[in-house]
Amino acid sequence: MYSHALLTPEQMYRADALAVAAGVSSLTLMERAGRAVAEEILRRFGARPTLVLCGPGNNGGDGYVVARLLRDWGWPVRVALLGETARLKGDAAIMAKRWGGPFESVTSVDGAGLIVDALFGAGLSKPLSDQIVKLSSAVKVPVVAIDVPSGIDGATGAARPAAFRADLTVTFFRKKPGHVLMPGREYCGETVVADIGIPDRVLDEIKPPLMENFVPELPQAGPNQHKYRRGHAVVVSGAAHQTGAARLAARSALRVGAGLVTVASPKAAMAANEAHLTAIMLAEADDALALGRLLADRRKNAVCIGPAAGVGAETRAKVRAALASGAAVVLDADALTSFALAPDELFEAIAETPERAVVMTPHEGEFARLFKDLVKESDSKCERAIAAAKRSGAVILLKGPDSVAANGEGGAIVNTNAPPSLATAGSGDVLAGLLTGLLAQGMEGVGAAAAAMWLHGAAAGKFGRAGLTAEDLPDLISCGIPQNPLL
């Protein structure tokens, strides 16, 4: 159940402690951790002069194990220690003794063909010293980081100045948020999760609420399926010269399996929409009142508003009409910005019908407009999204290379399959459409958000060459949606 879980450093300490309580000694965990790192190194690199940089805590302890094993396997290994051997404690002191070789001070990386970064892991608590900053800036050879690259916050992915840039990071039991959130993910290079014998059942006690790439079961059309049972999605069109975004969203909703999709268009944009739509239906809804009337038909069970909707009172009124309809609502782009001066009005309107799903899909700029005080550097992207979900009563899909979907109960899913090619005009409209299509098929909010961002990334990944445009994306969804795309 917790195969996709992410553990904060605190939760990882707890997992270690529960494993120890269950009879695995902490020294055994350290030996296995170091062995796992050494084996991953052996798998990727030929023997070469290796410098293991060891810090004062247990991350350094893992480093001594790596040094001993590589040396025993015939590698030329040096160990540099930050601090003094006399001050080492517990398991790290034991492993330093078992290394049995000389200790250098941490002054230079000259002569090394590979660096093992065992300076700081979960225990990083302050900025890197000038001495370490100088050292990390001088590294020109491959770096293998133990647990996390030194200088990266395992809980948030934040990078201290001159954090180590690893080619490979080996962590233990489960990834930490810092391995998947930016910029941490970039500093980790390839991340490998090693099994060090912590039993999975410790997670039943910890109940980690954060996950990576978790996609719930997707809706499937059965043999007796009828289009009216697959939901009816409505996408609100922008003005006459701003209709493309809504059509991209509408096409995506249809591709992802909504039974019917209607574009609700202002009168002046009818001709433009009509000229471009075939399988997707078109209905005139010139103002909020008309949109409310259209949505009074309860078979229309999911609405998307925001893509090129325009910023202002008209969009605010349409958002209120969508929220009052009782349908699931996706609020994107201009629908969010329209409430920048009065976010509480939006949250109050959401609170009026708490039983239906509302999902907001802000990028960082839109997020900052609605949740100014939640933009704190010390908080992880997951914490910010969860806090925003709690305040707004909506599921928050906070977009970026590390999109996060969070609900008000404190759960969050980080998506890591999105290639950089998704940073293209209209890509967000497709995401909003996928989400609307999944909600129309009855998925609950955070599940639909997780599935939409995963399918979005997977579609872009399938394109597999330069030149991806948002128009390509809906058709790449059509390659069949497996029951669980991660299997």
Ligand X SMILES: NC(=O)C1=CN([C@@H]2O[C@H](COP(=O)(O)OP(=O)(O)OC[C@H]3O[C@@H](n4cnc5c(N)ncnc54)[C@H](O)[C@@H]3O)[C@@H](O)[C@H]2O)[C@@H](O)CC1
List of residues contacting ligand X (CB under 6 A): 13, 16, 26, 29-30, 33, 55-62, 120-129, 146-147, 172
Our CB check for ligand X shows the closer of 91 and 334 to be: 91
Nearer to ligand X, 9 or 457 (CB): 9
117 binds, among ligand X, K ion, none (CB under 5 to 8 A by kind): K ion
Nearest distance from residue 167's CB to K ion, in Å? 13
Q: Which residues pair with 404 in a beta bridge?
A: 398, 414
CB 298 within 8 A of CB 279: no
Closest CA to 449 of 391, 403, 400, 383: 403
**19, 36, 52, 145: which one contacts K ion (CB under 5 A)?**
145
Among 117, 212, 334, 429, binds K ion (CB under 5 A): 117
Minimum distance from residue 149 beta carbon to ligand X (Å)? 11
Residue type present at position 126 = K
Angle, helices 58-72/90-99, rounded to nearest 10 degrees: 20
Residue 115 or residue 277: which is nearer to K ion going by CB?
Answer: 115
Chain positions 233 to 252 lying near K ion, rule: CB under 5 A, are none
Does 51 sit near K ion (CB under 5 A)?
no
Minimum distance of ligand X from residue 19's CB (angstroms): 8
Verify binding: residue 82, K ion, rule CB under 5 A: no
Bridge partners of residue 116, in order along the sequence: 52, 144
What span, in angstroms and rounded, lies between the C-alpha atoms of 123 and 448? 36
Element (H, E) at 412: strand 412-414
d(CA 189, CA 300): 45
Q: Which is nearer to K ion, 188 or 283 (CB)?
A: 188
Task: Please choose which of ligand X, K ion, none residue 452 contacts, taking the beta carbon within 5 to 8 angstroms, the exact cut-off set by kind.
Answer: none
Backbone angles phi, psi at 251, to 5 degrees: -65, -40
**Minimum separation from the CB atom of position 188 to K ion (A):** 10
Residue 146 engages K ion in binding (rule: CB under 5 A): yes
Amino acid at 480: G
Nearer to ligand X by Cβ, of 75 and 164: the residue is 164
Q: Per rule CB under 5 A, is residue 115 in the interface with K ion?
A: no
Q: What is d(CA 400, CA 249) in angstroms, rounded to the nearest whole number?
A: 18
- Coil vs helix vs strand at 267: helix
Closest by CA position to 208, among listed 11, 21, 387, 382: 11
Q: How many CB atoms lie within 10 A of CB 365?
A: 9
> Please, which residue, 19 or 109, has the CB nearer to ligand X?
19
> Minimum CB separation from K ion for residue 63, in Å?
8
Q: Given the complex with K ion, which of 150 and 191 has the nearer CB atom?
A: 150
Q: State both tokens at 80.
A: 């540099």
Does residue 223 have a cis peptide bond before it, meaning omega lies within 30 degrees of 0?
Answer: no
* Smallest distance, ligand X to C-beta of residue 136, A: 12
The minimum distance between CB 174 and ligand X, in angstroms, equals 12
Closest residue by Cα to residue 320 from 284, 358, 283: 358
Interface with K ion (CB under 5 A): 117, 121, 145-146, 150
